[in-house]
Amino acid sequence: MKYPRILVLVAALATMLILGLLPVAAQDAVPVTILPVTNAEFLPGAHFDLRVEVQAEALPEDFAVSINGQDASEFFGAEAVDENWQLGDENPVMVSASTWRGVSLPEAGDYTVSVMAGGAETNVDWTVYEPQEAVAKNVILFIADGMTIPEITAARVATFGIEGGKVNGEFATDSFDEIGLVHTNSVDSVMMDSANTASAMNTGHKGSVNATGIYADSSPDVLDDPRVETLAEILRRTTDMSIGVVTTSDYTDATPASVWAHGRDRSSGSRATYAVQALEGIQPDVLMGGGAQYLFPQSTEGSRRADDRDMYAEYEAAGYTIVNSATELNDALASDMPEKLLGIFHRSDMNVWLDRNVYTDNLGDFTDQPGLVDMTMAAIDILSQNPEGFYLEVEAASLDKQMHPLDQERALSDLIEFQYAIAAAVEWAAQNAPDTLIVVTADHGHGYEVYGTVDVTAFNAAEDDMGRRQAIRTYGAAGFPTYTDSDGDGFPEWDADIVFAGVVNNHPDYTENFQVSETPRVPAISSDNGYVDNPDDDPNGIVMSGDLAPSDSTGVHTLQDVPVFAEGPGAEFFGRSIEQSDIFFGMAYALGVDPRG
Amino acid sequence: MKRLYFAGIALLLAACGTATDQHSSITAIPPEELTAAADMAPSPAAPTVEETQVLPTPTLTIAPTLTDTAPRAATPTPLNVDLPAGNAREIAAATDTAMRPEVQHLITFDESPVSIRFDEFYNGYNLRTGLVLSDKLLSLDGQTVQIAGYMAPPLKPELDYFVLTRIRLAFCPFCSTGADWPDDIALIYLNNDDTTVATDHPMRVTGRMEIGASIDHETGMVSLVRIYADNLEIIQ
Ligand SMILES: [Zn+2]
């Protein structure tokens, strides 16, 4: 959505007020936080929680909350629950809060929430948009975690090569009708993570780093933050559509969980809860990925739960067919097509394409994992049984998970696999369901870029860093990388003579030799002084002096617009410069979602 | 109350109190005797976590009783935390002594204490049943063992229990919600009123090993392998 400049100014002032940065006129005025924040956008009837926090021992006597001038409890037809808690340990302050749960805004239009507290008024502005007529039956949202334009460019060149100055082939997204730019910033930071970014796409609400399906409040409870409804929850509540989630990460990780989960802290402690929320909430018809460790009761060796719930048994009781390998997945599809499927193929995150297909010694106990193409098509096969349509989120999780440890070959291989998964879905839609909107995007960036090539023989023969740097060629001298695909699997063999000079622009102290690693990279190891170069990683590499805090073990997310590609009915919404939360609205408009039911 | 002291940190101990017991005068062990544990030092980076914010620690929730689970290799110690408040390790010890894991292929050992390494604990990961305990580990239930590892960063300065890990942990999983314990760990209970202090050095623990899930009454930590330590040694 575009805002007139004056609105942005008002928003900035309101934000400063919320953060307590401006002196408030009245003597007894207290800092007030209103959640959802200013600039929040909704569909009419979408459920959310309104929480108003006041930094005070108790709600001030004049405390009053109104929506467009009407008392909030009257407006919502619901009563607020008052709570308080202590914020901070060293200089604790008391917070008092009033919360209206499960409310909604009935009609499209502009809404102003006013809070009177201690003689001062605090306002936030919200907008509710009119639902649209349905144009699509199905929506598939493909998210490549941490995918950027430079990564797509590098993977495309490595896969297809260059002839006469032109790339010798196309990725699936290269022929999409609509291409746009997505702004990924957070409510609490200019930077972002995979939780609040995927949550923005699934709820239409920007959030705080690490938060999923909520607006982050100040209470110590990470599960009581005011919620916003996800697209999948709205679809469950108001339609008979099916819902699927496919990922190569642990299925309770941030990107997949954003389809159904609500919590402040995406870290391990919450994942066991997100596994429960999936079951007790929307129960996606298809769930595939890793994450077995969040399904066992705590007494089981290798469990990461802190309770005694046997989630495998609970999923089974809820009607899920459970598969744990590529073979079991194929068998399940070949016999009776399951209606609900839980596919768990790894104890935590699934392995990357390069390890599943080339360096298989790295697979450990998990030697029979399906690839992203197979999982995507299995999900589509199951979901498309429903004549009412489906919403499917597919995540290629490991671009990000491999860009963090600066492993260009593992990241780019998963980007290529991602493109093949998109190609398979595009082909399926063309033949079976042209009324399918396919949206492809990333959640955030990484600072990877190629700036030339490396002569590997010269690099490895050099005796010191000056000699190794002589092997890096730029501009015309760069020539072309010599990646080949001699086995014809559609993926380049990375152990070439001339390889990309590609690095990540933020990193700990480490060494870089630009060559594919037979084992996943661990560029830095911990020491008493923070993270330092791992002597076992690229031992012949050029010394790269860290440009991150010593406590950072790997590269971090970077600030950039990420691309969005769209094809199918409703795609035209995406061909421009948008906020990440707009992706929710583009998908909801295409499906004709009206949360009022 | 007596303390178990490490020879390697005598200076630190001088500030804390006087060494008075037989455990304080232990000869340092040459590095070549170290097991796989020491080869791993310094520890690789903790798994990549994107979380950057410090979040409040939620209270650990513990279900009151263990519901019957599918048949497993080890008979779990009841995870009953409705026991009277008191000494966590006495409660654990009592149930540990009462419970015996079922061993498919019992191994008998000539030596005592029996040496075991962390990389001998498990025999793969089954996606439907979890980590598979090795016959050696199961056979060592109730036996005196010797194992080398690192002390995980503890919660408090004076310890009557700690967690022994295969690799040196840079973080304290007790303290941060985002951090998981690795698999290769053992909960070490010191005997009776013994206490010790934190150390970064590789160390060796000798004591009675107990296998099977058990919950620590004080911390809520669920452990699968425990050692009731008679002896702690710093490996120089
Ligand atoms: Zn990341």
Write the residue in B55, B62, B122 that is nearest to A264 by C-beta: B55
Q: For residue B44, what are the contacts with CB-CB under 8 A and spacing of at least 6?
A: A522, A525, A526, A534, B167
Q: In terms of CA atoms, which chain A residue is nearest residue B177? A: A269
Question: What residue of B is the nearest CA neighbor of A271?
Answer: B178
| Closest Cβ–Cβ partner in A264, A299, A557 for B222 | A299
**CATH code for residues B2-234:** 2.40.50.140
Please give the model's pTM, rounded to 2 decimal places: 0.86
State the nearest Cα–Cα gap between B21 and chain A, in angstroms: 31
- The pLDDT, as a whole number, for residue B179 is 65
Q: Do A422 and A464 belong together in one domain?
A: no
- Please report residues of A whose CB lies closer than 8 A to that of B224: 301
What angle separates helix A408-432 from helix A372-383, to the nearest 10 degrees? Answer: 30
Distance from CA of A389 to the nearest CA of B (A): 32
Tell me the residues of chain B between 98 and 137 that have a Cβ less than 8 Å away from chain A: 122, 124-133
Does A193 touch chain B if contact means CB atoms closer than 8 Å?
yes
Using one digit for the tens of pLDDT, what is the confidence trace for A31-85?
999 999 999 999 999 999 999 999 999 999 999 999 999 999 999 999 999 999 9
If you search the block for the tokens 């990309």, which residue do you land on? A500
- Contact between A362 and A519 under an 8 Å Cβ cutoff? The reply is yes
Enumerate residues 208 to 227 of chain B having a beta carbon within 8 A of any beta carbon in chain A.
213, 215, 220, 222, 224
Pick the last residue of a domain from A128, A157, A190: A128
Chain B residues within an 8 Å CB radius of A220:
56, 58
Distance CA A92, CA A435 (A): 55
- Which ranges of A323-407 would DSSP assign to H, the alpha helix? 326-334, 353-357, 372-383, 398-403
In degrees and rounded to multiples of 5, residue A525 shows phi and psi of -125, 160
Rounded-to-integer distance, Cα A219 and Cα A226, Å: 11
Name which of A224, A188, A191 is nearest A207 in CA terms. Answer: A188
Query: Mutate which of A299, A311, A320, A529 to disrupt the B interface (most B C-beta within 10 Å)?
Result: A299
The ipTM is 0.87
**Tokens linked to B13:** 């101990």
Residues A478 and A538 in one domain: yes
Best residue of B82, B127, B181, B222 to probe chain A, by most A CBs closer than 10 Å? B127
Cα–Cα distance measured from residue A258 to residue A266, given in angstroms and rounded to the nearest whole number: 10
**Interchain proximity A304–B42, CB inside 8 Å:** no
pLDDT at site A56: 94
Say if A551 falls within a structural domain: no
pLDDT value of residue B41: 33
CA within 13 Å, CB half, A4: 3
pLDDT at B197: 83
Q: For residue A301, give the nearest of B49, B133, B215 by CB distance.
A: B133
Other CB atoms within 10 A of residue A544 CB? 19
Assign residue A66 a region (left: φ > 0; alpha: ψ between -120 and 50; beta: otherwise): beta
Inspect the interface and report whether the beta carbons of B127 and A298 lie closer than 8 Å. no
On whether both A497 and A408 belong to a single domain, the answer is: no
Q: Is A388 helix (H, G, I), strand (E, B) or coil?
A: coil
In the prediction, which pLDDT does A21 show? Answer: 46
**Whether B53 and A553 lie within 8 Å, measured CB to CB:** no
Selecting from A223, A302, A308 the residue whose C-beta is nearest the C-beta of B130 gives A302
The alpha carbon of A532 and the centre of ligand 1 are apart by a number of angstroms equal to 20
pLDDT tens series, chain A, 597 aa: 444 444 444 444 455 445 444 444 444 678 999 999 999 999 999 999 999 999 999 999 999 999 999 999 999 999 999 999 999 888 899 999 999 999 999 999 999 999 999 999 999 999 999 999 999 999 999 999 999 999 999 999 999 999 999 999 999 999 999 999 999 999 999 999 999 999 999 999 999 999 999 999 999 999 999 999 999 999 999 999 999 999 999 999 999 999 999 999 988 679 999 999 999 999 999 999 999 999 999 989 899 998 999 999 999 999 999 999 999 999 999 988 999 999 999 999 999 999 999 999 999 999 999 999 999 999 999 999 999 999 999 999 999 999 999 999 999 999 999 999 999 999 999 999 999 999 999 999 999 999 999 999 999 999 999 999 999 999 999 999 999 999 999 999 999 999 999 999 999 999 999 999 999 999 999 888 899 999 999 999 999 999 999 999 999 999 999 999 999 999 999 999 999 999 999 999 999 999 998
* Residue-wise pLDDT tens digits, B61-118: 333 333 333 333 344 455 554 544 456 667 677 777 767 778 888 999 999 999 999 9
- Does A92 lie at the interface with B, CB-CB under 8 angstroms? no
Using the Cβ of A116 and the Cβ atoms of chain B, whether some distance falls under 8 Å is answered with no
Q: How far is the CA of A35 from the centre of ligand 1 (A)?
A: 26
CB of A294 within 8 Å of any CB in chain B?
Answer: no
**CB count, 10 Å around CB of A200?**
27
Q: Does A401 touch chain B (CB under 8 A)?
A: yes
User: Same domain for A364 and A409?
Assistant: yes
Residue B48 DSSP symbol: P
Question: Chain B residue with minimal CA distance to A523?
Answer: B45
The closest of A306, A166, A234 to A587, measured between CA atoms, is A234
Side chain identity at A150, as an amino acid letter? P
Q: What is the pLDDT, as a whole number, of residue A416? A: 98
Asked if A136 and A568 count as a contact pair (C-beta separation under 8 A), the reply is: yes
Give the Cα separation of B29 and B203 in Å (integer): 9
B142 in contact with chain A, both atoms CB, cutoff 8 A: no
The kind and range of the H/E element at A75 are helix A72-76
Question: What pLDDT does residue B175 have?
Answer: 67
Q: Do A524 and B63 touch (CB under 8 A)?
A: no
CA distance A372 to chain B (A): 19
Structure tokens at A212: 């999923």
What is the Å distance from ligand 1's center to A399 Cα? 9
Q: CA B56, CA A219: separation in Å to the nearest integer?
A: 9
* Residue-level pLDDT at B79: 53
Query: What's the gap in Å between the CA of B137 and the closest CA on chain A?
Result: 13
What whole-number distance in Å separates Cα of residue A478 and Cα of residue B46? Answer: 36
Chain B CB contacts of A312 below 8 Å: 128
Domain count, chain A: 3
Q: Are A509 and A524 in contact (CB under 8 A)?
A: yes
Q: Are A39 and A8 in contact (CB under 8 A)?
A: no
Q: Which residues of A touch B124 (CB under 8 A)?
A: 365
Strand, coil or helix: A290 = strand
Judgement on whether residues A492 and A533 belong to the same structural domain of the protein: yes
Distance from C-alpha of A522 to C-alpha of B42, rounded to nearest angstrom: 13
A-interface mutation test, from B48, B62, B171, B176, most A Cβ less than 10 A away: B48
A307 to chain B, minimum CA–CA distance in Å? 6
Residues of chain B positioned with their CB less than 8 A from the CB of A209: 51-53
Q: Are B151 and B187 in contact (CB under 8 A)?
A: no
Q: Tell how far the Cα of A194 is from the centroid of ligand 1, in angstroms.
A: 6
- Do A81 and A205 belong together in one domain? no
Instruction: Judge whether A531 is closer than 8 Å to chain B, CB to CB.
Output: yes
Q: In whole angstroms, give the CA distance from residue A405 to residue A531.
A: 13
Residue B157 pLDDT: 77
Which residues, including other chains, have CB under 8 Å from residue A94's CB and lie 6 or more apart?
A55, A56, A57, A84, A85, A86, A87
> Is B59 in CB contact (< 8 Å) with chain A?
no
- Contact assignment for B43 to A267 by CB distance below 8 Å: no
Burial of B136 (0-12, 13-18, 19+ CB in 10 A): middle
Per-domain residue ranges of chain B: 2-234
Q: Tokens representing A28?
A: 């007894």
**A357 and A395 part of one domain:** yes
- What pLDDT score does B8 carry? 34
Q: Determine if the peptide bond prior to A36 is cis (ω within 30°).
A: yes
**Can you tell me the distance from the alpha carbon of A494 to that of A485, in angstroms, rounded to the nearest whole number?**
9
Ion ligand 1: residues, Cβ under 5 Å: A 400; B 50
Any A CB within 8 A of B66 CB: yes
pLDDT in tens, A479-516: 999 999 999 999 999 999 999 999 999 999 999 999 99
**Chain A partners within 8 Å of B55 (Cβ):** 210, 222, 264-265, 267
Residue A165 CA, ligand 1 centroid: distance in Å: 33
So what's the pLDDT on residue B221? 80
Confidence label for B25 from pLDDT (cuts 50, 70 and 90): very low
Mark yes or no for CB contact A306/B49 under 8 Å: no
Range of the domain at A339: 138-447+558-591
Rounded Cα distance, B150 and B204, in Å: 8
pLDDT at residue B1 tops 50: no
Q: Among A94, A128, A162, which residue terminates a domain?
A: A128
Q: How far apart are CA A471 and CA A481, in angstroms?
A: 13
Q: Which CATH number fits the domain that encloses residue A199? A: 3.40.720.10
Task: Give yes or no for B173 touching A (CB within 8 A).
Answer: no
> Sorting pLDDT into bands at 50, 70 and 90, what band is B35?
very low
Q: Do B43 and A526 touch (CB under 8 A)?
A: yes
Q: Tell the residue number behind the tokens 């996800």, with chain if given.
A: A230
Residue A170 sits in the same domain as residue A75 = no
- A48 by DSSP, 3-state: which? strand
Say yes or no: A443 and A497 in one domain: no
Ligand 1 center–CA A405 separation, angstroms: 10
How far does the centroid of ligand 1 lie from the alpha carbon of residue A313, in Å?
A: 32
Helix (H), strand (E) at residue B158: strand B158-159
* A552 domain-assigned: no
A272: contact with B, CB 8 A cutoff: no
A302 and B CB contact within 8 Å: yes
Q: Which of A159, A310, A162 is closest to B130 using CA atoms? A: A310
Question: Has residue A61 been placed in a domain?
Answer: yes
Average pLDDT, chain B: 68
